[in-house]
Amino acid sequence: MRWDVAAPIILLLGAMAPIAYYAYTRSSGATDQTGSYYLGGRSLGPWVLIFTVLASAASAGTFIGTAGLTYSQGYGWVWGGLMQVPSAVLALGLLGKKYAIVARKLNLLTFTDFFRERYESRAVTLFTAIGMVVFLVAYMVAQFVGGARVLQSITGIPYWALVVVFAGMVALYTSFGGFLAAAFTDAAQGIIMFLGGIALWVVVLSTVGGFTAVEEETRSLDGQLVVLPGASGFDLPMMLSYALMFGLLLAALPHVSVRAMSYRDSKALHTALIVGPAIMAVFTLGFGAMGVFGRVLYPDAELADLVLPTLIVDQLPGVVAGAVLAAPLAAVMSTVDSMILVVSGAIVRDLYVGFIKPDMPDHQQYRAGTLVSLGIGLVVLVAALRPPDFLQYLINFAIGGLEAGLFVPLVLGLYWKRGNALGAMASLLGGMGYYLVASNVVPALAFGMMPVAPAAAFALLLYVAAAYLGPPPSRRVLVKFWGTQRAIDEMREQEAARS
């Protein structure tokens, strides 16, 4: 083991303990323990907000998976990765103030809370929660695999042992630290990711002789790597698909959209909207494009997903390499614990409390959340012991399934008064069902695009049609989502008096 490389990573892992303890003391001492655990008390400032949104959107896919596919199939995957540059604008701008205002008025804490209150349907709540659990577990597997492969490339320790240690550590850290621990880690490590991406470009370009040398060498290896669509297949329909999948529809991912509930004030939101895209561009180009550079330096690599970690260790001084590798590792950790919290919230609040024990006290929900978070970590650990060949394929599958089913009922439910439970159910099941069939059974249904694009269009048609076929939302829903706080309070007083 190279201790100069490992030292910054060990320091990172050691820093998790005080961060988790500090977050634990804030959550356990809060009046609303559950709200603090799952949403951080809606207290995030601008810079913490920026990095927690970006780390949720960019994780193993950006830092490891995209670089691996770029190594194998060329620059097309860099274009695909760049589609997530406006993710902060879309996640916070599309949802933004409207989402946060509604969440505060109705005390929404989890992603599924919105669906329960907006559509007043136990079936919609149930299927939303189940869909989230299935697809986010698949997503978390990819993140654990990515983190373990980073450590494997440095230490030489067997992959399975690293998965056990890494997944176990993240599960423990998440169960006690909650939302605030993830957010604070994102902010601290986001700075390292930003600076590390710039440093990597400077050093690697100096080593290989600049862009011209890289292009010439890459063309000599395989000319299809530097043209579009080339080996990656990135023609115009695929570019549009990725623009949807990693741009517009990204706002529907539960672990991303819930950040729109967590910011402190409008100033924090506006700062994140302005600065976020620039930082994401550095993340994407700084790490994703390194796959082509890695093809020049390591033309015969056995495992594409290990090219970027290997390049970092070989090209940067030991301590700097460790610091740069700590950044994507921290992003993986932050994304995983964010997903664990979302799934934990769906199981505890939306399934158990919503369907089995509605009168469960706040402190019991908080304790149940920590135990469920541990259990989720163990389930994902077992699944990650047999990793896929390319992380990005598994990530794309999980992202696409969530976006196809959740984007339309989330956004139209927020902005369109006519949207109803029938439309939400039709869109949810139809979008996810179409995506699964087009991905695995009838590829022709994708029409030459990523399946998420036609699946989302199909979900939109179903939502609109069902909204007019079914009954309109109740007056109670309209008051809660479009009325003033005074109107909501008056309605609640009337309901209390009748009961």
Domain-embedded: residue 121: yes
Domain-embedded: residue 482: no
Per residue in 460-494, pLDDT (tens digit) is: 999 999 999 999 998 888 988 888 778 887 887 77
Most confident range (mean pLDDT) of 164-178, 195-209, 246-260, 360-374 is: 360-374
Instruction: Give the torsion sign (CA, 267, 272, 273, 275).
Output: positive
What angle, 0 to 180 degrees and rounded to 10, lies between the N-to-C axes of helices 318-345 and 122-155?
160
Residue type present at position 408: V
Q: Report, as an integer, the average pLDDT of 343-372.
A: 82
Cα-flanking dihedrals φ and ψ of residue 448, to 5°? 75, 10
Looking up residue 162, the CATH number of its domain turns out to be 1.20.1730.10
390 has pLDDT over 60: no
> Which string of DSSP letters, residue by residue, matches 356-379?
T-TT--HHHHHHHHHHHHHHHHHH
Are 181 and 20 in contact, with CB atoms under 8 Å apart? yes
Domain-embedded: residue 60: yes
- Report pTM: 0.79
Domain-embedded: residue 486: no
- Cα gap 341→238, rounded to integer Å: 32
Q: Report, as an integer, the average pLDDT of 334-342.
A: 78
Residue type present at position 342: V
Virtual torsion, Cα 417, 421, 423, 427, nearest 10 deg: 120
Virtual torsion, Cα 331, 337, 338, 340, nearest 10 deg: 140
Are 41 and 261 in contact, with CB atoms under 8 Å apart? no
- Cα gap 147→425, rounded to integer Å: 36
- Residue 264 belongs to domain spanning: 3-400
Residue type present at position 359: D
Per residue in 420-438, pLDDT (tens digit) is: 999 999 999 999 899 989 8
Domain count, the chain: 1
Domain-embedded: residue 90: yes
Q: Report, as an integer, the average pLDDT of 357-364.
A: 81
Domain-embedded: residue 235: yes
Domain-embedded: residue 357: yes
Element (DSSP H or E) covering residue 338: helix 318-345
- Cα gap 320→114, rounded to integer Å: 43
> Residues near 386 by Cβ (< 8 Å), separated by ≥ 6?
none
pLDDT confidence of residue 284: 76
Buried residues in 304-333 as b, exposed as e (16+ CB within 10 A): bbbbbbbbbbebbeeebbbbbbbbbbbbbb
Confidence at 118, pLDDT banded by 50, 70, 90: very high
By the 10 Å C-beta count (0-12 exposed, 13-18 middle, 19+ buried), 205 is classed as middle
Per residue in 14-57, pLDDT (tens digit) is: 777 777 777 767 666 566 666 666 665 566 777 777 777 776 66
350 has pLDDT over 70: yes
Planar angle of CA 340, 343, 344, nearest 5 degrees = 80
Domain-embedded: residue 477: no
308 has pLDDT over 60: yes
